[in-house]
Structure 1
Amino acid sequence: MTDTLTATARADAQPAPLLEVSGLVAGYGQGEVLHAVDLAVPAGSVVAVVGANGAGKSTLLRVLSGLLPAQAGTVRFDGDDLATARVEDRIRRGIVHVPEGRHAVAELTVDENLRLGGLWRGDRRELRADVDAAYDLFPALAARRTSHGHSLSGGERQMLAIARALVAHPRLLLLDEPSLGLAPRIVAEILGTLAHLRAERGLAILLVEQNVRSALSVADTGVVLNLGSVVAARPSAALLDDEQLRHAYLGF
């Protein structure tokens, strides 16, 4: 009896996840894309959402960032319900979304793009310090700080998109397909940076990625989506070891 009470007390003492999604339903028009999705992202962890094209991965991130309303279910961040929160309110709370596509404002310089990430912030000195920290994290951008967005390579634009998100002071980074179309060396550099951000800054990351092996190599947990439903949520190593699941849903 005592052991049971002790175990219960330990379970009760576990902190709630930073992000907790329960029964999430969402879609476009009359079409339902996500079907009762449950997932959790603990503070300071990397969770990879993997699955085939059309599984609903990008839709999930759009709902979490407020770009797409949920039709049902709950999204709680640090214990608070985000059902009616606007995109800008979620950013101020610490949820920052880097969409697929390596978006950079072509007419602005690298430095101007980075400062754009902190446009809502009032302390200019802290903003400048965070821009400088982004340059330390991505030295390739420091060398191009006066270059305009249209002149950057694909890898540099992806670095810029992530760096600009970091200037917004996220607690949770929603990252959509950061490796898409990039050379393996650049992919390894970006994923290494994500691991550094988790280890050194305690940043929580929800990573959507087609490159399953790479994603799971830096993630603590993997969530497999198939046609809008969660079919598995396990430690990353366990997913990689499950040959039947990999063949059925991940294509290797």
Structure 2
Amino acid sequence: MSAPLLRVENLTAGYGPVPVLHEVSFEVPAGTIAAIVGSNGAGKTTLLRALSGTLPAIQGSITVGGTPLLGVPTENLVRHGVAHVPEGRGVIGELTVDENLRLGGLWRKDRAGTTRAVAEMYEMFEPLARRRTSSGNQLSGGERQMLAIGRALVARPSLLLLDEPSLGLAPRIVDRIMAVLRDLRDRSGLTVVLVEQNAHSALPIADQAIVLSLGRITVATSAAELALDSDFRTAYLGF
């Protein structure tokens, strides 16, 4: 297995003086998908917010490609190869699909590279190609999620942080999004940290499964192994 791209050590974070995450430590090898699973209130979204800098950490360290990122302003993380798609599909509703996608490459100096990346997103997410002049407000929930992921990918990240991409979407749209993530890992070596309550969708495409319970890692194992452990799935994942 390749060297870790993401290394998290003793990460404690929360809202105000009360920690939600308690000394969380794990590694994600480059070119793999890590599924962060667990029940509601386990701390999954808090973990992604701490990794992306939108929630200050109380203690611990976060490194990506050997570079310490704790305390780096969120808007600068893209320059270190990190892109975050938060829960809720952060699309700018007043802008068109094309304008939203191009925002993903705003920090890049090569306009031709941005244009190529946008074209690739239209190939990857065909429904967006048919809606490129539509505003974000006119899109369905599934189209908005594709657009949010596509905009993050235009930045050419090495690490994609993805929070609950299946939330509220039809199963066929979820399948499409998961297939794209698996293809990006296999073709381009993208590393993904995928937070999902829907373990049915996340585990089949993941390499590694990290189970959170009450802000602590209960187990970190291969996704295939966790999928086969019926007792553990029933106790922690509800299926």
For the criterion TM > 0.5, the same-fold answer is yes
Alpha-carbon distance in structure 1 between the residues aligned to 2:178 and 2:91: 20
Instruction: Select which of 186, 194, 211 maps to 2:181.
Output: 194
Residue aligned with 2:4, SS: coil
Q: Hey, what does 1:5 align to over in structure 2?
A: none
Q: Hey, what does 1:23 align to over in structure 2?
A: 10
The alpha-carbon deviation at position 16 of structure 1 amounts to 3.3
Instruction: Select which of 111, 115, 130 maps to 2:117.
Output: 130
Q: Deviations over 1:135-173 (max 9, x none)?
A: 111111011100010000000000000000001111000
For normalisation by structure 1, the TM-score amounts to 0.93
Say if 2:2 and 2:30, in contact at 8 Å, map to a contact too: no
1:106 aligns with 2:93: yes
- The one-letter amino acid paired with 1:29 is G
Higher Cα Rg: structure 1 or 2?
Answer: 1
Residue aligned with 1:71, SS: strand
- The one-letter amino acid paired with 1:101 is G
Q: Deviations over 1:190-246 (max 9, x none)?
A: 101110110011100000011102100100010000000000100011111222211
Q: Hey, what does 1:3 align to over in structure 2?
A: none
1:221 aligns with 2:203: no
Q: 1:15 to 1:219 in 2, by over 3 A?
A: closer
Residue aligned with 2:78, SS: helix
Q: Hey, what does 1:6 align to over in structure 2?
A: none
Q: Hey, what does 1:93 align to over in structure 2?
A: 80
Q: Hey, what does 1:78 align to over in structure 2?
A: 65
1:55 aligns with 2:31: no
Residue-pair matches, total:
239
1:160 aligns with 2:138: no
Instruction: Select which of 182, 206, 217 maps to 1:230.
Output: 217
Residue aligned with 2:19, SS: strand
- The one-letter amino acid paired with 1:138 is F
Say if 2:86 and 2:162, in contact at 8 Å, map to a contact too: yes
Instruction: Select which of 54, 66, 77 maps to 1:67.
Output: 54
For structure 1, the 5+ residue unaligned runs are 1-13
Alpha-carbon distance in structure 2 between the residues aligned to 1:133 and 1:152: 20
Alpha-carbon distance in structure 1 between the residues aligned to 2:93 and 2:76: 26
Deviates more, 1:84-93 or 1:106-115: 84-93
The alpha-carbon deviation at position 88 of structure 1 amounts to 2.1
Q: Deviations over 1:26-72 (max 9, x none)?
A: 00101100001011111100000000011110111111111111111
Q: Hey, what does 2:127 align to over in structure 1?
A: 140
Alpha-carbon distance in structure 1 between the residues aligned to 2:198 and 2:71: 33
Alpha-carbon distance in structure 1 between the residues aligned to 2:232 and 2:5: 28
Alpha-carbon distance in structure 2 between the residues aligned to 1:207 and 1:15: 19
Aligned ranges for residues 33-48 of structure 1 at < 5 Å? 33-48=20-35
The alpha-carbon deviation at position 180 of structure 1 amounts to 0.4
Q: Which consecutive segments of 4 or more residues in structure 1 shift more than 6 A? A: none
Alpha-carbon distance in structure 1 between the residues aligned to 2:70 and 2:150: 28
Say if 2:82 and 2:161, in contact at 8 Å, map to a contact too: yes
For structure 2, the 5+ residue unaligned runs are none
- The one-letter amino acid paired with 2:195 is V
> How much is the aligned-residue C-alpha RMSD, in angstroms?
1.0
Say if 2:159 and 2:191, in contact at 8 Å, map to a contact too: yes
Report % sequence identity. Answer: 58
